[in-house]
Amino acid sequence: MATRGCGCKTPTNQRVTEDGIIEQSFDNGVTWERVTDDPRFNAPVFPPLVGDPGPDLRCAGALSGREVTRLFVEQVATATDIFTEVAKVLSVIIGFLVAFLGPVAAPVVAIIAALALFLMVVGQAAFAAAMTPATLDTLKCILYCRIDGNAAFSESSWQAVKEDILAQFAGIPESVYWNYVNSLGPVGLTNICRALPGLAGDCDLCACDCDEPIIGSIGTGLLSRPDLGIGWWQVTTVDGENPLDNPNGRFYADILIPACCLHNAYTYDLGLINAPPGNRAAWNCETVPGFANYGLGGCQERILFRAFNAGNITFQILECP
């Protein structure tokens, strides 16, 4: 074990995991532990945006994140003298990120260097051509779908943003945005989304996916219906008794949602379905079993469809606001 004169341990190795976490070893790589001195996780967080937590605040944060990223892209794309040396590209990126992270610790520089090296490889012209306003709009929607109601990111939602970037981009934008978000961390990502409040714009075209549902106690034929749009699924009702309701000779489809999701819409081809709201019931997230409310709206973890005969029900679940 390496030690200083004071008896303190000295790291023998450092590494960055595939999730962007900086780790260090004190025994030449036999065991590893997380580095705590990482401004991406412990830098000061900007003040929250003014307003009630919810979709409007989430959109305001996403618009701010888009605009800050646009400024970053334009600064790099127009800095004609920096693409001659990696160090110059690195200096520009660090100089930009310092505003959102404070002083950048040495281990984080290695993460930022990955972005600088990539920019040097692709070159200024290719970078400028690939980083279009359309890619910024896609990033805005990714931020909107993962940010919380207070316009902030946790470590898990920061990781989810990176996963969405890999799923929705390709080529130069994929690498640039992934490394950019990886360099920011959850604190930096929160700060860019709180840096410019009050921007004009909306998030109406952002459709957010929700986790894949599963059949609960009864139902059959659950399948995804992307032809109907984001978040649409289909299930077939089955004759039988639902354990959470008294037997009444109806047909059921019981849907469990692994994560809390918004029950946004539904259609059916059953013909003799009950008149609303008796045809469906929903359970609020984190409540005990029992009818929490009927109908659409609200974040749910379970939906029970009830009908007088067998048939297909299509329903839409989206990320909760």
Spatial separation of the C-alpha atoms in residues 241 and 249, rounded to whole Å: 7
- A 10 A CB-CB count for 243 gives 11
pLDDT along the chain (321 residues), means of 10: 57 86 88 88 93 85 97 90 87 90 81 89 92 96 88 89 92 95 94 94 81 84 82 86 61 82 80 49 63 65 80 84 65
Q: Identify the pLDDT of residue 5.
A: 47
DSSP-based three-state secondary structure for 49? coil
**CB of 266 closer than 8 Å to CB of 287:** no
Contacts made by residues 16-22, CB under 8 angstroms, sequence distance 24+: 16/107, 16/110, 16/111, 19/159, 20/111, 20/159, 20/162, 20/182, 20/185, 22/107, 22/108, 22/111
The closest of 121, 238, 247 to 179, measured between CA atoms, is 121
Query: What's the 3-state SS for 59-116?
Result: HHHHHHHHHHHHHHHHHHHHCCCCCCCHHHHHHHHHHHHHHHHCCCCHHHHHHHHHHH
pLDDT value for 135: 96
- Tokens standing for 221? 């034929």
Q: Cβ neighbours of residue 198 under 8 Å, at least 6 residues apart?
A: 60
Asked if 233 and 279 touch (Cβ cutoff 8 Å), the reply is: no
263 neighbors 300 (Cβ within 8 angstroms): yes
Those residues whose C-beta lies under 8 Å from the C-beta of residue 136, and which sit 6 or more positions away, are 66, 69, 70, 73
Give the integer Cα–Cα distance in Å for 84 and 91.
Answer: 12
Tokens of 299: 């974040």
Q: Amino acid identity, residue 318?
A: L
Residue 202 one-letter amino acid: D
Placement of tokens 């450092």 in the chain: 14
Structure tokens belonging to residue 70 = 């646009």
What pLDDT shows up at residue 65? 97
- The percent helix, strand, coil of the chain (3-state, each to 5) is 40, 20, 40
* N- to C-terminal Cα separation, the chain: 50
Q: Within the chain, what is the greatest distance between any pair of CA atoms?
A: 82
State the amino acid at position 198 in one-letter form.
G
